[in-house]
Structure 1
């Protein structure tokens, strides 16, 4: 790890400030779900169904996976700063285009380009690994993940208000404004942190086997993917559960999505404070156990007809708590496997996680119909928690055998 000058806000020769990294972490999450409370109004505007408009979440996630796949190696090659500036420029222009989209197909296409914002979170984590030791990286990643928690928490609530009073377009004008603010802050605050490489861009992809043949990378990556998949399944099916099963209006839906994000916020604060003390592996295991017990309890309540909007969102808030503890540590674990390839590892790991999330989001929305209860969605999420726990147990056992505990 190279030594970098201490951060000085709005100084282009130093590493970016914590505020800037948190902003980068939040912009993609905000664009992903802030418009969801206005989904019905958007469906009416584009003369289509809510189910079709809901596919825009899966398209956004799938496109995010592609952008991240290239952003990591590209940033290792030409630097974090130029990749971020170009990605955010594409994000702002496509967000403006969405407001004036003439039809559903154009809207979906522009949503795909809007997903360029996903590069921001990937490169924020890479910057942390460029400038921080393994022992401290999980704590710092947890703190910048606060942006990921605050954005989904405030986004639907603010989006529901803006959509209810000014129309669905107001959500995207808000995103345009925040995208422009983020671009200017990056331009003036982000000094380059990437280690210098003499490899060409295409040569960077040749290092993928070095990462893909590492069991530890796969372990942390899959544990992260299954845990994140729980959130994405909720994202894909939560709108249906809230609006159809529990008859919530757009403003109530905003709160419905905000409370699990608040749980994620608490989880990231806990991870930021205690990850260095207890270690990456222990914190991931704790987060996954919380996920498993919360989903088991929710499934039992639903099975015996004790469910309501209150109980559902309460257990989803615990799911958010578990994810807030697990996700930053799993990300730090992935980056620690090959520190000299932090951008590539971050991009590849996030790409796999988001691609899996896109599939789950689409699948969760597809299995729910007007005759459904919340049970199919809960069962999927519960099964994913078991998968994540089994993988993490395997990682811990292997790390113990080879003396590579984190």
Structure 2
């Protein structure tokens, strides 16, 4: 008992004098996490136009999203552990350089094949934002302070994709779809400047962590933890659903409902406004009840949104509200789930936070990639939305029901096992 008390007091002492403040970590983390979704959302209003510009098919243009997800998902498995070994700042700068080069390539793309490659490389570069931001939070804070920062990052994360479709639609109508990638170049420059001048290094350089044997052991320990895997599946079925929706909503709202690119961009504010509302509600009630107790509340909203999609979109011709009300309810629930589940997933792995963050992001973006690919194969985007998203919601709910029965891993238990 005395030993546990000493450890707790030591942890509290460390957290009273962090390397960076909660606000600073929240702002930097929010910017870094947002670059991936912003790069996705900026592009979606231009998808129907790109079909015409390159004389290609919807399926080919959807591949630019699927491979973006693929690059984003798999690159996290690399940049996360690399940041454990080389440090958070140098890996951030290296991968953001890839993102910048890919944005320039997309800007100059002469055909759809080049654009597909550029979008894949953009996903590779943008992956560092999610991996490093979450790892930095875990490096500096734990428990409720970590959950508070994850919640604030979620609010900031919502602001980016909220503005991005509107900005993308206006940019495309005023300057053409090429200008969208100019905006991405500028965004990449901003993130690099923040990494250079505002982000402090939060991990000690240790190249032993990136040796092949160490990497295998690190990921092996994550996969052997049902607690971690089930946390990731909850996140995959909720946050991952947002990325799946991105592959079909533009075609539903612009081609079936008849919105212009600008109207589509403004209309997407409904999804993001609901997410922000959920994040604000979460922040208020988290102080009283704790982050973990808000997860089942969020899952109830996910269930309601899933059921509404599955029934309404199969019964009636799609309209803006018929599509976006269920999407908004689903997003409201996601905001109550993510902070607690992300914190719970990473808490048992302080020694390889980068790898844990990377694997969690792989599940999240991998779900978007698989869901997007399934939606593309189904052909009809309305049927895809009414089928794939409810399945992802069911996955999240079932995973949480199993996860909540598992004992929480502790540092003392891990030491005894070792």
How do 1:3-402 and structure 2 match up within 5 A? 5-7=18-20, 17-115=25-123, 116-197=125-206, 199-202=208-211, 203-205=213-215, 206-275=217-286, 277-305=288-316, 308-369=319-380, 374-399=382-407
Give the secondary structure class of the aligned counterpart of 2:405.
Answer: helix
Give the secondary structure class of the aligned counterpart of 1:397.
Answer: coil
What CA distance in whole angstroms lies between the structure 2 residues aligned with 1:133 and 1:385? 28
Question: 1:271-314, CA deviations, whole angstroms, 9 ceiling, x for partnerless residues?
Answer: 33433543343222221211111221343333442752113212
What CA distance in whole angstroms lies between the structure 1 residues aligned with 2:195 and 2:284? 27
Change in CA separation of 1:211 and 1:44 when aligned onto 2, cut-off 3 Å? same
What CA distance in whole angstroms lies between the structure 2 residues aligned with 1:193 and 1:273? 29
Question: 1:213-236, CA deviations, whole angstroms, 9 ceiling, x for partnerless residues?
Answer: 111101101111111232223112
Aligned partners of 1:153 and 1:262 also within 8 Å: yes
What CA distance in whole angstroms lies between the structure 2 residues aligned with 1:255 and 1:207? 43
Change in CA separation of 1:376 and 1:355 when aligned onto 2, cut-off 3 Å? closer
What CA distance in whole angstroms lies between the structure 1 residues aligned with 2:333 and 2:61? 29
Q: Report the TM-score, using the length of structure 1 for normalisation.
A: 0.90
Give the secondary structure class of the aligned counterpart of 1:173.
Answer: helix
What CA distance in whole angstroms lies between the structure 1 residues aligned with 2:258 and 2:349? 48
What CA distance in whole angstroms lies between the structure 2 residues aligned with 1:261 and 1:87? 27
Aligned partners of 1:263 and 1:320 also within 8 Å: yes
Q: What's the offset of the Cα at 1:17? A: 4.1
What CA distance in whole angstroms lies between the structure 1 residues aligned with 2:283 and 2:93? 28
What CA distance in whole angstroms lies between the structure 1 residues aligned with 2:160 and 2:409? 40
Q: What's the offset of the Cα at 1:5? A: 4.6
Q: What's the offset of the Cα at 1:200? A: 4.4
Give the secondary structure class of the aligned counterpart of 2:268.
Answer: helix
Higher mean alpha-carbon deviation, 303-312 vs 200-209, is at: 303-312
Change in CA separation of 1:324 and 1:249 when aligned onto 2, cut-off 3 Å? same
Provide structure 2 residue ranges, at least 5 long, that are not aligned to the other structure. Answer: 1-10, 413-418
Aligned partners of 1:160 and 1:251 also within 8 Å: yes
What CA distance in whole angstroms lies between the structure 1 residues aligned with 2:196 and 2:221? 33
Give the secondary structure class of the aligned counterpart of 1:192.
Answer: coil
Aligned partners of 2:84 and 2:209 also within 8 Å: no
Change in CA separation of 1:171 and 1:332 when aligned onto 2, cut-off 3 Å? same
Aligned partners of 1:56 and 1:111 also within 8 Å: yes
Question: 1:100-128, CA deviations, whole angstroms, 9 ceiling, x for partnerless residues?
Answer: 01221111111111111121122111111
Q: What's the offset of the Cα at 1:137? A: 0.9
Question: 1:2-53, CA deviations, whole angstroms, 9 ceiling, x for partnerless residues?
Answer: 6665537xxxxx9954322211121111111212111122222222123311
How many residues matched? 395
Higher mean alpha-carbon deviation, 153-162 vs 286-295, is at: 286-295
Give the secondary structure class of the aligned counterpart of 1:318.
Answer: helix
Aligned partners of 1:99 and 1:172 also within 8 Å: yes
Give the secondary structure class of the aligned counterpart of 2:347.
Answer: helix
What CA distance in whole angstroms lies between the structure 1 residues aligned with 2:287 and 2:84? 27
Aligned partners of 1:237 and 1:368 also within 8 Å: no
Higher mean alpha-carbon deviation, 207-216 vs 17-26, is at: 17-26
Aligned partners of 2:89 and 2:200 also within 8 Å: yes
Aligned to 1:11: none
